[in-house]
């Protein structure tokens, strides 16, 4: 079937199978670099996107579901080369090493802080429970998010 | 320091960070070419068995399946990762000819128009395997009654005879790496106490968030470009060259950003298979491992068993140490012989032990091959040695700081492998560590130094 959706503000039209996941279509059909395959089963968060502003695992979302919707990845956050506060905080706090988890981490942080501008530690850990990072040991990531929430 | 240098002593930004936070860092999974095909493997359901028959007829009929690759498609179907540094003999096939040696070993490859079709094709390949009793335990593997799973008749790597990259050619071969110094028998005869310990370290998966991904693209004139998640592009180049029987200069390996490696992307584990597939079909091919493959097929930190016996004097010195170390290499050699050398020479830890006898075994079992992971060989031994130090101190009834200070190596001494020490700082480091952890050391320990 043919689906149409907005990807990072651009109109996209693509033929998909009923069984195709959004992750598969984004990576293997469209060639999106700001979304990553980590597990394919909703465990790691490397594949996270926003669908109409809500945080979703693209590996657990069928591509057909985004027909007519807006899909946003971390690539669309910066405007005219100007990083958002969260992106700057990740840079300043060295909150990434290999960077494979970073897009998912940043989207999770964004959604959390929009809902709850000054989360407690517990709320922060809870929000990050669906995102795995194997490199940083999480502390710099948490520091980055806290540095934004305090402002 | 910062007045003198602009780099030393100054924090440096990870240059990739801007790419990471904007989602523009390029990993291998972003690489794709027009006409690119996909690979999936048919994997062994058993830990050890004879391959009786591979029936690909159903898979070949599946629309979209382009080619099935088996052992006979590989020009030189035997390799060992570390041939480059003189370790051999090669023992691992790219695809096994007649015997599978670990559960999940790739038996053949299906190349198809997309990932799903390749996976479906792989399910349609029928493999008939006669299951053989596997060797899964290191102690069992070393018993004379164990089924032999190597080509050289014993389930251990043969050190010496010019095959381990460390000892001189012409030295006698032994099924263990030997470190020997002083007279360990005499030390045990003199000992007031003997303390024994046995330590087990399980295998550990690196679990990078980015699984293994490789794209191989044939170029005109028997050339090949390989884009892969690797920490060691030259291992990839040399191993692929050797199995394809083409000069290494025909191969270009591109190593983009790696999404976590931790040693798990040091071994060329699947690049040879992808390269053979690409050469056979003459088109770019891609293989992206699943999370399940990452856990069950990719290398792990080796399982290690270490047995230590210490001869102690009542004055608190280690007079001698005997140790036996077993390192589970899994089904094939990979980098394990080198890992065993590292661990065996480290069995004294940072302590001065004048009389030692250490045997390090690189053992083969029917498990997924193990290999490098963050200081492998050293970490495992440090764990065992430091626990043993605690045990020794307890037996002697003295404080373990005191015991460590007494036995710490010092400048002017000679290591187990015969190197004169001129860079010892252990005592100084322990003083700082004690202060940082709020331990106040007695005066006589604070008086000690690595130079006295
Ligand atoms: S790839 Fe979607 S959660 Fe891991
Ligand atoms: S930075 Fe490597 S997984 Fe998070």
CATH number of the domain encompassing residue A14: 3.10.20.30
CA distance B274 to B226: 9
- CA of B278 from ligand 1 middle (Å) equals 28
Reply yes or no on whether the pLDDT at A107 is more than 80. Answer: yes
Shortest distance between the Cα of B277 and any Cα of chain A, in A, equals 20
Co-location of A91 and A64 in the same domain: no
- Residue where a domain stops, chosen among A73, A100, A132: A73
DSSP characters over B131-156: E------HHHHHSTTSPP-STTSSSB
Residue A6 has pLDDT above 50, yes or no: yes
Q: Which two tokens stand for residue B329?
A: 């290499």
In a domain, A79, yes or no: no
A132 CA distance to ligand 2 middle (Å): 8
SS3 sequence, chain A? CEEEEEECCEEEEEECCCCCEHHHHHHHHHCCCCCCCCCCCCCCCCCEEEECCEEEEHHHCEHHHHCCCEEECHHHCCECCECCHHHHHHHHCCCCCCCCCHHHHHHHHHHHHHHCCCCCHHHHHHHHHHCCCCCCCCHHHHHHHHHHHHC
In terms of domains, do A115 and A60 share one? no
A100 and A131 housed in the same domain: yes
CB contacts < 8 Å between A and B, how many? 106
d(CA B165, CA B163): 6
On whether both A62 and A117 belong to a single domain, the answer is: no
Confidence of residue A85 (pLDDT cuts 50, 70, 90): very high
Q: Which of A77, A99, A107 has the highest number of chain B CBs within 10 A, making it the mutation to test binding with B?
A: A99
Tell me, yes or no, whether A78 lies in a domain. Answer: no
**Shared domain check, A109 and A46:** no
* Domain co-membership, A65 together with A116: no
Atom of ligand 2 at shortest distance to CA of A135?
A: 2
Q: What is the CATH number of the domain that holds A106?
A: 1.10.150.120
Give all domains of chain B, ordered by start, each with its CATH number. 28-132+206-296 (3.90.1170.50), 177-204+300-399 (3.30.365.10)
Listed residues A45, A73, A101: the one ending a domain: A73
Do A61 and A97 reside in the same domain of the chain? no
Asked if B210 and A38 come within 8 Å (Cβ–Cβ), the reply is yes
**pLDDT for residue A110:** 97
Which residue out of A21, A38, A63 has the highest number of ligand 1 atoms within 8 Å of its CB and is therefore the one to mutate?
A38
The residues, ordered by sequence, that sit 6+ positions from B408 with a Cβ below 8 Å of its Cβ are B350, B351, B352, B424, B426, B427, B430, B448, B450
> A33 vs B24: CB contact, 8 Å cut-off?
yes
Tokens 């794709």 sit on residue: B32
pLDDT above 60: residue A151: no
What is the per-residue pLDDT for B321? 98
Tell me the sheet residues that pair with B328.
Answer: B363
Whether the ipTM is more than 0.90: the answer is yes
Residue A9, min C-alpha distance to chain B (Å): 15
* pLDDT the model gives residue A150: 67
Would you give the DSSP letter of residue B420? B
Say if ligand 2 is within 6 A of residue A95 CB: no
Tell me, yes or no, whether A121 lies in a domain: yes
Mean pLDDT in chain A?
A: 96
Last residue of a domain, one of A31, A53, A73: A73
Q: Please state the pTM of the whole predicted model.
A: 0.94
Closest residue in chain A to residue B258, using alpha carbons only:
A98
Provide the pLDDT for residue B1: 47
Dist. CA B148–CA B146, nearest whole Å: 6
DSSP label of B388: H
Q: What is the pLDDT of residue A47?
A: 98
Confidence label for A46 from pLDDT (cuts 50, 70 and 90): very high
A31, A98, A135 member nearest B30 (Cβ) = A31
Could you give the CA distance from residue B435 to residue B113 in angstroms, rounded to a whole number?
A: 63
Range of the domain at A109: 85-148
A60 and A91 in one domain? Answer: no
Q: Closest-CA residue in chain A for B293?
A: A39
Residue A63 covered by a domain? yes
Atom number, ligand 1, closest to the C-alpha of residue A57? 2
Which structure tokens are listed for B166?
């460390």
Report CA torsion sign: B419, B425, B431, B435.
negative
**Strands of B49-55's sheet, edge to edge?**
B99-100, B49-55, B126-131
Q: In sequence order, which residues have a C-beta less than 8 Å from that of residue B156 and are 6 or more positions away?
A: B141, B142, B175, B176, B361, B362, B363, B364
A144 within ligand 2 shell (Cβ under 6 A): no
Q: Whose CA is nearest to atom 3 of ligand 2?
A: A133
Q: A109: closest CA among A118, A66, A100?
A: A118
- Cβ contact (<8 Å) for B22 and A133? no
Count how many domains chain A has: 2
- The answer to whether residues A48 and A18 belong to one domain is yes
Nearest to A33 among B17, B23, B115 (CB): B23
Nearest atom in ligand 1 to the alpha carbon of residue A58 is: 2
The residues that bridge with B54 in the sheet, in sequence order, are: B127
Q: Going residue by residue through chain B, which has 452 residues, state the pLDDT in tens, using 9 for 90 and above.
A: 457 788 888 888 899 999 999 999 999 999 999 999 999 999 999 999 999 999 999 999 999 999 999 999 999 999 998 887 788 889 999 999 999 999 999 999 999 999 999 999 999 999 999 999 999 999 999 999 999 999 999 999 999 877 787 777 777 889 999 999 999 999 999 999 999 999 999 999 999 999 999 999 999 999 999 999 999 999 999 999 999 999 999 999 999 999 999 999 999 999 999 999 999 999 999 999 999 999 999 999 999 999 999 999 999 999 999 999 999 999 999 999 999 999 999 999 999 999 999 999 999 999 999 999 999 989 999 999 999 999 999 999 999 999 999 999 999 999 999 999 999 999 999 999 999 999 999 999 999 999 97
Q: Are residues A52 and A111 both part of a single domain? A: no
Q: How far is the CA of A131 from the centre of ligand 1 (A)?
A: 9
**Does residue A52 form part of some domain?**
yes
B179 CA distance to ligand 2 centroid (A)?
Answer: 39
Instruction: Check residue B85 and give its pLDDT.
Output: 78
Q: Are residues A54 and A95 in the same domain?
A: no
- Residue pair B342/B373 in contact by the 8 Å Cβ criterion: no
CA distance B108 to B39: 10
- Residue A123 falls inside a structural domain: yes
B210–A43 CB contact, under 8 Å? no
Separation in Å, CA of B94 to nearest CA in chain A:
26
Q: Is residue A129 part of a domain?
A: yes
């Amino acid at each position: 079937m043919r689906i149409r959706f907005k990807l990072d503000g651009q109109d996209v039209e693509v033929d998909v199978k009923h069984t195709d996941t959004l992750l598969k279509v984004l990576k293997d059909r469209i060639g999106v670099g700001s979304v990553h395959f980590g597990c394919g089963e909703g465990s790691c968060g490397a594949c996270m996107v926003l669908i109409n502003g809500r945080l979703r695992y693209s590996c657990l979302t069928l591509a057909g579901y985004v027909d007519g919707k807006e899909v946003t990845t971390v690539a669309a956050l910066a405007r005219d080369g100007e990083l958002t506060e969260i992106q700057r905080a990740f840079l300043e706090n060295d909150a990434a090493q290999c960077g494979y988890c970073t897009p998912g981490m940043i989207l999770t942080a964004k959604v959390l802080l929009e809902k709850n501008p000054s989360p407690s530690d517990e709320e922060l850990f809870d929000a990050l429970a669906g995102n795995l990072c194997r490199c940083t040991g999480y502390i710099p990531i948490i520091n980055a998010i806290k540095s934004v929430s305090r402002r | 320091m910062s007045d003198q240098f602009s780099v030393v002593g100054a924090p440096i930004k990870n240059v990739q960070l801007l790419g990471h936070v904007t989602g523009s860092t390029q990993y291998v999974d972003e690489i794709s070419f027009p006409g690119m095909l996909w690979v999936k493997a048919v994997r062994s359901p058993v830990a050890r068995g004879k391959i009786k028959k591979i029936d690909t007829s159903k898979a070949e009929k599946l629309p979209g399946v382009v080619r099935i690759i088996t052992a006979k498609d590989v020009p030189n179907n035997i390799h060992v990762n570390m041939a480059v540094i003189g370790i051999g003999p090669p023992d691992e096939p790219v695809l096994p000819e007649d015997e599978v040696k670990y559960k999940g070993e790739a038996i053949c490859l299906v190349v198809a128009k997309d990932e799903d079709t390749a996976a479906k094709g792989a399910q349609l390949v029928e493999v008939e395997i006669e299951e053989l009793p596997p060797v899964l335990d290191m102690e069992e593997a070393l018993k004379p009654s164990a089924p032999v799973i190597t080509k050289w008749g014993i389930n251990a790597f043969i050190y010496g005879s010019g095959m381990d990259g460390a000892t001189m050619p012409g030295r006698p071969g032994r099924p263990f790496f030997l470190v020997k110094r002083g007279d360990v028998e005499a030390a045990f005869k003199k000992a007031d106490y003997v303390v024994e310990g046995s330590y087990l370290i399980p295998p550990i998966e690196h679990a990078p968030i980015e699984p293994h991904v490789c794209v191989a693209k044939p170029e005109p004139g028997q050339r090949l470009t390989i884009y892969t998640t690797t920490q060691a592009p030259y291992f990839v180049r040399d191993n692929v060259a050797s199995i394809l029987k083409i000069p290494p200069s025909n191969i270009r390996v591109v190593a983009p950003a790696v999404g976590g490696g931790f040693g798990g992307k040091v071994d060329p584990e699947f690049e040879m298979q992808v390269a053979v597939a690409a050469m056979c079909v003459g088109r770019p091919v891609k293989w992206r491992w699943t999370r399940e493959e990452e856990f069950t097929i990719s290398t792990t930190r080796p399982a290690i068993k270490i047995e230590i016996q210490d001869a102690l004097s009542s004055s608190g010195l280690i007079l001698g140490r005997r140790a036996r170390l077993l390192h589970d290499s899994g089904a094939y050699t990979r980098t394990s012989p080198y890992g065993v050398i590292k661990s065996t020479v480290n069995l004294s830890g940072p302590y001065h032990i004048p009389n030692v006898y250490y045997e390090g075994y690189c053992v083969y079992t029917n498990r997924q091959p193990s290999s490098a992971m963050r200081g492998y060989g050293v970490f495992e031994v440090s764990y065992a040695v430091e626990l043993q130090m605690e045990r020794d101190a307890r037996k002697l009834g003295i404080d373990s700081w005191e015991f460590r200070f007494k036995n710490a190596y010092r400048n002017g001494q000679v290591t187990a492998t015969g190197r004169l020490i001129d860079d010892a700082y252990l005592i100084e480091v322990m003083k700082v560590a004690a202060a940082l952890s709020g331990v106040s050391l007695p005066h006589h320990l604070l008086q000690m130094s690595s130079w006295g």
